[in-house]
Amino acid sequence: MTGNEIRRKYLEFFKEKGHAVIPSASLMPENDPTTLFTSSGMQPLIPYLMGEKHPAGKRLVDSQKSFRSGDIEEVGDNRHNTFFEMLGNWSLGDYFKKEQLNWFFEFMVSELKLDPKRLYVTVYSGNADIGVERDDDSIKIWKEIYKAHGIGAKDYDNGESLGMRDGRIFYYGDDKNWWSRSGAPANMPIGEIGGPDSEVFYDLGAELKRHENSQWKDKPCHVNCDCGRFIEVGNSVFIEFIKTDGSKRAATNGAHANEKKGCFEPLKQKNVDFGGGLERLAMVSEGKDNVFETDLFINVLNKVEELSDNKKYRDNMKAFEVIADHMKGAAFIMGDDKGVAPANVDQGYIVRRLIRRAIRFGRQLGITKSSWAKEIAQIVIADYKEAYPELERNAEFIINEIDKEEDKFMKTLVKGEKMINGDKMDGEQAFNLFQTYGYPIEMTKEICREKNIVLSNNFDNEFKKASVKHSDLSRTASAGKFKGGLADSSEETTELHTVCHLLLESLKRVLGDHVHQKGSNITAKRLRFDFSHSAKLTDEEKSRVEKLVNEAIKAGHQVSFEEMSLDEAKKLGAEGVFESKYGDKVKVYSVGNFSTEVCGGPHVSNTQEIKGVFKIKKEQSSSAGVRRIKGILQ
């Protein structure tokens, strides 16, 4: 059964049980400043788990796009992905443990045809400190379920020290069988919701012998030991508690009120939050022991083989898996309707890290052709566009941004790699690599590990210090200099700023000398430019303007400036002198012999540094006698 089929079957199965199928929420969470990405199915549903009415009802089912940046460096074992699909079914104060555990088991056995003898489960062992008891209800339900399948099911505690013995049902504590966005009860902030959970594990078989070779080899194997033999395929969370400061409860009976530990009070309603990773379910139902061998990755891996001149996945597993995982993650983050482009902060930084790390591993595989990363993204789009049509809607953006990022990174990759040399590296050097060559700190560390370069003791602090120093500097610079229409001082914004000068001059040449700048606003992605002119531009005028701008970019004009008095600037015929807002002395920027304009900067030093082809995306009226152009570098 393919991943697409499993997704469809799961939605169908729960639809038949009265659930409304809801679409995946965005990967960029709304009203949730605590995380950069949606990393579980329950995140977008929190208000409804807390009691708000969901418009689709009390039973919901979905497949939620999820991304866990914390797993970037885990990719390469048999089961971790950064991006994954979380199949989820939800009871918002409707059904509870009995239905949930029975239904999921039924789905696995009847629909996915998994052998019930390979399924093991865990339940919450309880914690007297927070007043929540062992989940005996679930133990009882599981025993009945196994019995119905003719399987005896003994239950045991202490799997960590005593191992599996002959058990089926195992109890674990706060770290393993309690779920909230912030983990164990002790880590939950006041106001957070969560509850005990029950996980299902699939036994990939003792013959895998992963355990013997793993760091757990001297300890007993048990379902949660992480050796890779047992894989978690689903988690039913019983979200029924909210952590409070205990003041209300203390006022009534004083039980469990403890300021430090918080107090776990029942929510208005008992909820079920089930989450199962589609990739893992596909893996076990396809009889594989590695998520990357499922149909959800196979087309991408084949493409990597082709691009790397027939290197084989089996011989280069980590590099293939990093490329496949990271390019899928990047495509989904950029292809979201709230899509994010590579950048140096926030979600954009993660996208940058993903693309650059994938490219670096591609180089290790000997992929030499340029502009290859987008070919992987194209496969991801084709594989997933039916389930996630936004990928196709935003395909152009995904492909363009990947191409631009690859181009930028390739220009500095070799130089950067040469800089990572010697026996030692400190955090300030790493910051310079980030600043000059766009090397994410994590990547620098990884390369150092590969080359046995020792990191200084204070590495992370040095990096932080250097970056704080730098951002102070650039804040000062921008406060003093870039009062105009620039959103930031990134490379892209600077390039587009120089393009504005080329655009103004080109408009004058095509439309006439009455054209003057009326305003501008520039971000890293686009420019907005207002100018005096009263008629709509014809297609022919627009393409003549684009052509002039692009020729000027290609011509490689030097950009320079001179400080002079306003009068001198006027004599020179510089654009922008009709207003005296600049004071006595002004800076006049010249782009070769193409244009002269009063301006505060910053600009590129040569027009050839401008990457891409200028394109007018929109031309419209802004106010009487003023037209507005939106333009981009493609």
Q: How far apart are CA 260 and CA 352, in angstroms?
A: 40
The verdict on 41 binding ligand SER (CB under 6 A) reads yes
The least CB distance from residue 308 to ligand SER, in Å, is 35
Residue of 22, 27, 28, 42 that binds ligand SER (CB under 6 A) = 42
Nearest alpha carbon to residue 580 among 567, 593, 590, 589? 567
The least CB distance from residue 461 to ligand SER, in Å, is 33
Piece of 22-30, 34-42, 51-59, 501-509 that binds ligand SER (CB under 6 A): 34-42
Q: Per this entry, what is the length of the chain?
A: 634
Give me the residue whose beta carbon is nearest to ligand SER. 275
C-alpha pair distances (Å), 90 with each of 54, 194, 256, 563: 11, 14, 29, 66
C-alpha pair distances (Å), 108 with each of 142, 201, 277, 538: 14, 11, 13, 62
The verdict on 88 binding ligand SER (CB under 6 A) reads yes
C-alpha pair distances (Å), 222 with each of 120, 166, 229, 307, 407: 10, 11, 9, 40, 47
Q: How far apart are CA 140 and CA 153, in angstroms?
A: 10
619 Cβ neighbours under 8 A, 6+ residues apart: 536, 537, 542, 627, 628, 629, 630
The verdict on 44 binding ligand SER (CB under 6 A) reads no
| CB-CB contact of 91 with 100 (8 Å) | yes
C-alpha pair distances (Å), 581 with each of 502, 528, 563, 576, 598: 22, 21, 15, 10, 11
The verdict on 27 binding ligand SER (CB under 6 A) reads no
The least CB distance from residue 273 to ligand SER, in Å, is 5
The verdict on 296 binding ligand SER (CB under 6 A) reads no
The least CB distance from residue 66 to ligand SER, in Å, is 8
C-beta closer to ligand SER: residue 274 or 320 = 274
C-beta closer to ligand SER: residue 185 or 631 = 185
Angle formed by the axes of helices 295-307 and 278-285, to 10°? 90
| CB-CB contact of 71 with 326 (8 Å) | no
Residue of 49, 61, 237, 599 that binds ligand SER (CB under 6 A) = 237
Q: How far apart are CA 599 and CA 559, in angstroms?
A: 12
The least CB distance from residue 620 to ligand SER, in Å, is 46
Give the footprint of ligand SER on residues 170-199 (CB under 6 A).
179
553 Cβ neighbours under 8 A, 6+ residues apart: 499, 502, 607, 608, 610, 614
Piece of 45-53, 68-76, 145-153, 267-275 that binds ligand SER (CB under 6 A): 267-275
C-beta closer to ligand SER: residue 45 or 504 = 45
The least CB distance from residue 220 to ligand SER, in Å, is 25
C-beta closer to ligand SER: residue 89 or 517 = 89
Nearest alpha carbon to residue 334 among 409, 393, 413? 393
C-beta closer to ligand SER: residue 233 or 553 = 233
The verdict on 275 binding ligand SER (CB under 6 A) reads yes
218 Cβ neighbours under 8 A, 6+ residues apart: none
Pattern of binders to ligand SER over 120-159, x per CB under 6 A?
----------------------------------------
The verdict on 235 binding ligand SER (CB under 6 A) reads yes
Cis peptide upstream of residue 602 (ω within 30 degrees of 0): yes
The least CB distance from residue 547 to ligand SER, in Å, is 53
The least CB distance from residue 464 to ligand SER, in Å, is 31
To the nearest 10°, report the CA torsion of 181, 186, 192, 193.
Answer: 80
C-beta closer to ligand SER: residue 276 or 576 = 276
C-beta closer to ligand SER: residue 120 or 179 = 179
Residue 120's H or E segment, with its range, is strand 119-124
Binding site for ligand SER (CB under 6 A): 40-42, 88, 179, 235, 237, 273-275
